[in-house]
Amino acid sequence: MAKIDDVARLAKVSKGTVSNVFSQKRPTSDEVRERVLRVSRQLNYVPNHTARSLVTKKTMAIGLTIPHGSFFFSLFHTQFINGVILEASYYGYRVLLDIIPEQQVQTPFLTSYPIDGAVVMSPTTNDERIALMHAGQIPFVTVGKVMNEEIAHFTSVDNDNPQIMRSICEYLIDKGHTAIMFLNANALMTVSLDRKASFIQTLEKHGLPVEAHMLHHKPALNSSEYLDYGYAETIRVLGTERRKVTAIIADDDRTAFSTLKALKDLNLNVPGDVSLFVICGDLSMMVQSDPSLTSMDLQPSELGAQSVRLLMNQLGVLQGEFPEHVIVESKIIERNSVSTISS
Amino acid sequence: MAKIDDVARLAKVSKGTVSNVFSQKRPTSDEVRERVLRVSRQLNYVPNHTARSLVTKKTMAIGLTIPHGSFFFSLFHTQFINGVILEASYYGYRVLLDIIPEQQVQTPFLTSYPIDGAVVMSPTTNDERIALMHAGQIPFVTVGKVMNEEIAHFTSVDNDNPQIMRSICEYLIDKGHTAIMFLNANALMTVSLDRKASFIQTLEKHGLPVEAHMLHHKPALNSSEYLDYGYAETIRVLGTERRKVTAIIADDDRTAFSTLKALKDLNLNVPGDVSLFVICGDLSMMVQSDPSLTSMDLQPSELGAQSVRLLMNQLGVLQGEFPEHVIVESKIIERNSVSTISS
DNA sequence: GCATGGCATTAAACCGGTTTAATAAAGAGG
DNA sequence: CCTCTTTATTAAACCGGTTTAATGCCATGC
**Spatial separation of the C-alpha atoms in residues A189 and A170, rounded to whole Å:** 24
Contact A260, A270 (CB under 8 A): yes
Q: What is the pLDDT of residues B232-278, one digit of tens each?
A: 999 999 999 999 999 999 998 888 988 998 999 999 999 999 999 99
pLDDT at B212: 95
Candidates A1, A94, A231: best to mutate against B (most CBs of B within 10 A) is A94
pLDDT at A107: 46
Nucleotide nearest to B53 (CA to C1'): C17
Q: What is the pLDDT of residues B273-315, one digit of tens each?
A: 999 999 987 766 777 777 889 999 999 999 999 999 999 999 9
**Spatial separation of the C-alpha atoms in residues B322 and B156, rounded to whole Å:** 11
Half-sphere exposure of A151 (CA within 13 A, CB side): 25
Which of the following CATH numbers is that of domain B4-47: 1.10.260.40, 3.10.20.30, 3.20.20.100, 3.40.50.20? 1.10.260.40
**Spatial separation of the C-alpha atoms in residues B301 and B81, rounded to whole Å:** 7
pLDDT at A105: 41
The domain ranges of chain B are 4-47, 61-159+303-327, 161-298
Which residue in chain B is spatially nearest to A107 when comparing CA positions?
B92
Candidates B3, B22, B41, B50: best to mutate against A (most CBs of A within 10 A) is B50
pLDDT at A216: 96
Contact B21, B45 (CB under 8 A): no
Residue A36 (CA) to nucleotide D27 (C1'), in angstroms, measures 27
pLDDT at A109: 52
Determine if the peptide bond prior to A47 is cis (ω within 30°): no
pLDDT at B119: 96
pLDDT band at B72 (very low <50, low <70, confident <90, very high): low
Beta-carbon separation of B227 and A254 below 8 A: no
Residue segments in chain A with a per-residue pLDDT below the cut of 50: 71, 103-108
Mean pLDDT, chain B, integer: 90
pLDDT at B105 over 60: no
pLDDT at B208: 96
pLDDT at A108: 45
pLDDT at A309: 98
Beta-carbon separation of B137 and A1 below 8 A: yes
**Spatial separation of the C-alpha atoms in residues B7 and B18, rounded to whole Å:** 7
Q: What are phi and psi of B236, to 5 degrees?
A: -65, -55
CB contacts under 8 A, B 156-215 vs A, are none
Residues with CB under 7 A from strand C: A 12-17, 20, 26-29, 31-32, 51, 54-55, 57; B 1, 3-5, 15-16, 18-20, 22-23, 25-26, 45-48, 51-52, 54-56
- In what helix (H) or strand (E) does residue B343 lie, and over which residues does it extend? none
pLDDT at B106 over 80: no
Beta-carbon separation of A111 and B47 below 8 A: yes
**Spatial separation of the C-alpha atoms in residues A287 and A307, rounded to whole Å:** 27
CATH topology of domain B161-298: Rossmann fold (3.40.50)
Q: Closest by alpha carbon to A198, among A172, A248, A171, A164?
A: A164
CB contacts under 8 A, A 136-155 vs B, are 136-137
Contact A305, A84 (CB under 8 A): yes
Please give the CATH architecture assigned to the domain spanning B61-159+303-327: 3-Layer(aba) Sandwich (3.40)
Contact A127, A67 (CB under 8 A): no
User: What integer is the mean pLDDT of B164-182?
Assistant: 97
The set of residues, in sequence order, having a beta carbon less than 8 Å from that of B28 and lying 6+ positions away, is B17, B20, B21, B36
pLDDT at B108: 44
Measured to protein CB atoms, the chain D nucleotides within 7 Å are 7-12, 14-20
Beta-carbon contacts below 8 Å between A and B: 151
Contact A96, B94 (CB under 8 A): yes
pLDDT at A106: 45
Residue B19 (CA) to nucleotide C24 (C1'), in angstroms, measures 20
Which residue in chain A is spatially nearest to B137 when comparing CA positions?
A1
Q: Closest by alpha carbon to B231, among B283, B191, B177, B276?
A: B276
Q: What angle do CA A331, A336, A342 make, to 5 degrees?
A: 100
Which residue in chain A is spatially nearest to B227 when comparing CA positions?
A284
CB contacts under 8 A, B 237-276 vs A, are 254, 257-258, 260-261, 264
pLDDT at A104: 47
Contact B137, B151 (CB under 8 A): no
A82 to chain B: which residues are within 8 Å by CB? 71-73
pLDDT at B325: 97
Contact B202, B170 (CB under 8 A): yes
B257 to chain A: which residues are within 8 Å by CB? 285, 288-289
**Fold match between domain B61-159+303-327 and domain B161-298:** yes
pLDDT at B150: 87
Q: Which CATH class is domain A161-297?
A: alpha beta
